[in-house]
Amino acid sequence: MFNLILFGPPGSGKGTQSEKLIAKYGLKHLSTGDLLRSEIAAQTPLGIEAKSFMDKGQLVPDEVVIGMISSALDSNPDAKGFLFDGFPRTEAQAEALDKLLKLKKTAIHLMLAMDVSEAELIKRLLGRGKTSGRSDDTNEEVIKARIAEYHKKTTAVADYYMKFDKVKHIKGEGTVDEIFAAISKEIEGKI
């Protein structure tokens, strides 16, 4: 089993690169953002609660996303590995994920952290907001709040995995294919 975290600020390209990675390596893609947006579309109580945080650019409470990931791991017993996209986003989520994977006698093997400048992130997200229908992409203040949450709560997750020597940095600017080639190179050495 090979378990990968694709890490980076909002708009760094996690979703874009995930699509290519799952096609190449056959990993099961677990995006907490996508799971939350499905709950919102289905208007479940969880989705209604999550939307109030997401629309402000704030993180959804840990117990909500940890519960979703726990169910997703249980629902995919035959996966050859997982690609975590947008999770973990706090140290508490990272610790919970380690425990869940340990119960399944596996672990995180690699975290790839994509580095992109703030100006480029804002440009990409405002650009996507014109067509995506994502309410958190249309307002620059909300985009800035998401980036601020990342600095306040999420960068600590990279420090957490750094202690276990599991982090590699990737230059997240350039063409999608150039970035994918750099990511694939790091994975080839570990998978």
Q: How far is the CB of 5 from ligand AP5 (least distance, A)?
A: 11
Q: Which residue is nearest to ligand AP5 (CB)?
A: 33
Between 92 and 105, whose beta carbon lies closer to ligand AP5?
92
Q: CA-CA distance, 191 to 181, in Å (whole number)?
A: 15
Q: How far is the CB of 134 from ligand AP5 (least distance, A)?
A: 7
* Cα–Cα distance for residue pair 101/95, rounded to 1 Å: 10
C-alpha to C-alpha distance for 5 and 87, rounded to whole angstroms: 8
* Candidate list 7, 13, 82, 111; residue touching ligand AP5; CB under 6 A: 13
Between 124 and 166, CB nearer to ligand AP5: 124
Q: How far is CA 75 from the centre of its chain?
A: 19
Instruction: Please spell the DSSP secondary structure of 118-148, one letter per residue.
Output: HHHHHHHHHHHHHHH--GGGS-HHHHHHHHH
Q: Pattern of binders to ligand AP5 over 23-62, x per CB under 6 A?
A: ---------xx--x----------------xx--xxxx--
Q: How many CA atoms lie within 13 A of 101 on its CB side?
A: 21
**Which residues pair with residue 169 across a beta bridge?**
113
Which residues, 6+ apart, have CB-to-CB distance to 166 below 8 Å? 108, 109, 110, 111
**15 near ligand AP5 (CB under 6 A):** yes
Alpha-carbon dihedral 25, 28, 31, 36, rounded to 10 degrees: 160
For residue 176, state whether it binds ligand AP5 (rule: CB under 6 A): yes
| Binder of ligand AP5 out of 8, 51, 108, 170 (CB under 6 A) | 8
Q: Which residues are part of the catalytic machinery?
A: 14, 89, 128, 134, 146
Give the binding-site size for ligand AP5 (rule: CB under 6 A). Answer: 30
Contacting positions for ligand AP5 (CB under 6 A)? 8, 10-16, 32-33, 36, 53-54, 57-60, 65, 86-87, 89, 93, 124-125, 127-128, 136, 146, 176, 179
